[in-house]
Amino acid sequence: MLLNVSELANIAGRFQNAMIKRMYDDIDDIDDSMVELNDEASYVCGSCGEDIVVPVDSSEGRQQQYVEDCPVCCCPNVIYVEIDEEGFPNVRSHLE
Ligand SMILES: [Zn+2]
């Protein structure tokens, strides 16, 4: 099969577009995971020692406190959430 120059350029252009699209898809993935990092934090259950990931709603204020039953051992933990100046949540907990 013989291709002329414009057909070759066409194929090269399409290949390049696909590469660029893949790059942007990768960048999207990275952005998503960064957002998730900001919205989630974890505490260690005071009863069973499991690492429990909790969603953090920063619109609830810079300091939050609530009681959550551990999803692993069902012991109630008092959760303290503090959101620092950069928006990163720090979570502490102790048994109720
Ligand atoms: Zn537990």
Cα of 37 vs centre of ligand 1, distance in Å, is 22
Domain boundaries, the chain: 5-95
Interatomic CA distance for residues 66 and 59, integer angstroms: 15
Residues with CB under 5 A from ligand 1 (ion): 45, 47-48, 70, 72-73
Whether the pLDDT of residue 14 is over 60: the answer is: yes
Centre of ligand 1 from the C-alpha of residue 61, in Å: 26
Would the pTM of this model clear 0.85, i.e. be above it? no
- Burial class for 39, CB neighbours closer than 10 Å (0-12, 13-18, 19+): middle
50 C-alpha to center of ligand 1: Å? Answer: 6
Is a pLDDT exceeding 50 seen at residue 35? Answer: no
Contact yes or no for 88/38 (Cβ under 8 A): yes
Name residues whose C-beta falls within 8 Å of residue 88's C-beta, 6 or more positions apart in sequence: 38
Distance 46 CA to ligand 1 centre (A): 7
* pLDDT for residue 38: 62
